[in-house]
């Protein structure tokens, strides 16, 4: 399937989660406040440290950004902080990356996060959505992009298979771009330790795992010529002072990272059990979101929305919804009684 810059936008379905104004417009009678489970953001955020006044008042210093990159390199397992560039959100990296190489052929492993394909199309690339990864020994595009683990279905491609593809692409000056937005949950799957290999690029998101999506921070991990080119495009003082301060602490807080992984994993197992008891099919996901199929003849999206629970649906896949982790499982079970009616009956 070929993609143009605008063809991805679906009519009547929000292109992203997290838009509660849209929720209230569609469901004006839903009980308030909304329980927003439409995103894949950790509901138990990293505790905000005190933020020094200077983080707000002064221009961020180059040394602060270097310290952040050193913390991120340690957290992600990147050999050298120069192989990493920080930006105000991974989204702006997704939007800018396609301009760092001449227009060519791009394959995006689909279905996946909806912002990648239009970003490459916007920069003049020929974008194709593909359902399977190409054979490393066969014809290859200039750029191959996937999200791993995938959003919304959690599909995982083993690192070894990706490295073989990266090497095959690099041999033709191609790129393998892996969006690891949810890889903090499963660090063993990350290609970050391999960064430095020609043609291997990884995107990381800070806000999802650390539960601080409003802070806006993301990283491109890539050969140094590319991180330098990205820094040159986005310019100095890219990352806000408070974000530099908070993330530099969070990224080195191994105790918190280990504890939250355990907590998210346990919460996800409880959620799965609850959903299965209610007769709902779980198609996949990560510890931060689940992809569900509405039972025959039902519409989970509407049922949940009418009960004040906002989830994410997909224009091209009716009946599927993505559900974030409820911050309070008992409240969720209570509030979503329609979902659970199968088990109640």
Residues that bind a second copy (CB under 8 A): 16-21, 36, 39, 41, 45, 48, 53-63, 88-89, 91-92, 94-95, 99, 115, 119, 122, 207, 211-216, 232-243
Handedness of CA 294, 295, 298, 303 (dihedral sign): negative
200 phi and psi angles, rounded to 5 deg: -105, 120
Confirm if 129 and 1 have CB atoms less than 8 A apart: yes
Alpha helices in the chain (DSSP H): 20-26, 53-57, 62-76, 90-96, 116-122, 159-170, 224-234, 241-250, 254-277, 300-306, 329-335, 341-344
Confirm if 45 and 158 have CB atoms less than 8 A apart: no
Residue 297: which of 327, 236, 342, 260 has the closest Cα?
A: 342
What is d(CA 340, CA 65) in angstroms, rounded to the nearest whole number?
48
In the complex with a second copy, which residue's Cβ is closer, 194 or 286? Answer: 286
- Radius of gyration (Cα) for the chain, nearest Å? 20
In the complex with a second copy, which residue's Cβ is closer, 20 or 157? Answer: 20
Residue 340 structure tokens: 């659970």
Residue 90 structure tokens: 């991974």
In the complex with a second copy, which residue's Cβ is closer, 240 or 315? Answer: 240
In the complex with a second copy, which residue's Cβ is closer, 282 or 314? Answer: 314
In the complex with a second copy, which residue's Cβ is closer, 65 or 303? Answer: 65
Work out how close the CB of 284 gets to a second copy at its nearest, in angstroms, rounded to a whole number: 22
Residue 18 structure tokens: 């997290």
In the complex with a second copy, which residue's Cβ is closer, 103 or 134? Answer: 103
Work out how close the CB of 6 gets to a second copy at its nearest, in angstroms, rounded to a whole number: 10
Work out how close the CB of 109 gets to a second copy at its nearest, in angstroms, rounded to a whole number: 21
- From the DSSP assignment, how many helices (H) and strands (E) are in the chain? 12, 14
In the complex with a second copy, which residue's Cβ is closer, 140 or 182? Answer: 182
């Amino acid at each position: 399937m070929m993609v143009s810059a605008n063809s991805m936008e679906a009519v009547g379905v929000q292109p992203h989660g997290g838009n509660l104004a849209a929720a209230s417009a569609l469901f004006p009678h839903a009980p308030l406040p909304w329980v927003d489970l439409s995103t894949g953001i950790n509901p138990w955020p990293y505790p905000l440290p005190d933020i020094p006044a200077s983080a707000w008042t002064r221009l961020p210093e180059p040394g602060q950004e270097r310290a952040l990159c050193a913390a991120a390199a340690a957290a992600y397992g990147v050999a050298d902080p120069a192989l990493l560039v920080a930006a105000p959100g991974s989204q702006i990296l997704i939007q800018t990356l396609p301009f760092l190489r001449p227009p060519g052929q791009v394959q995006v492993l689909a279905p996946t996060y909806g912002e990648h394909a239009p970003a490459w199309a916007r920069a003049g690339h020929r974008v194709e959505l593909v359902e399977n990864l190409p054979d490393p020994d066969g014809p290859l595009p200039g750029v191959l992009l996937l999200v791993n683990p995938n959003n919304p279905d959690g599909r995982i491609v083993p690192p070894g298979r990706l490295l073989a593809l990266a090497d095959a692409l690099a041999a033709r000056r191609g790129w393998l771009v892996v969006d690891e937005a949810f890889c903090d949950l499963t660090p063993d799957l990350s290609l970050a330790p391999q960064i430095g290999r020609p043609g291997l690029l990884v995107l990381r998101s800070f806000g999802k795992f650390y539960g601080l999506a409003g802070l806006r921070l993301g990283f491109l991990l890539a050969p140094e010529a590319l991180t330098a080119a990205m820094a040159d495009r986005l310019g100095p003082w890219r990352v806000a002072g408070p974000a530099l301060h908070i993330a530099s602490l969070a990224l080195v807080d191994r105790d918190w990272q280990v504890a939250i992984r355990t907590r998210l994993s346990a919460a996800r197992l409880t959620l799965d059990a609850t959903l299965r008891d209610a007769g709902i099919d779980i198609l996949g996901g990560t510890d931060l979101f689940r992809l569900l199929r509405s039972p025959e003849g039902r519409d989970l999206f509407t049922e949940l929305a009418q009960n004040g629970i906002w989830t994410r649906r997909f224009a091209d896949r009716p009946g599927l919804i993505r559900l974030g982790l409820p911050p309070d499982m008992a409240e969720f079970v209570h509030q979503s009684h329609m979902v659970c009616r199968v088990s109640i009956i």
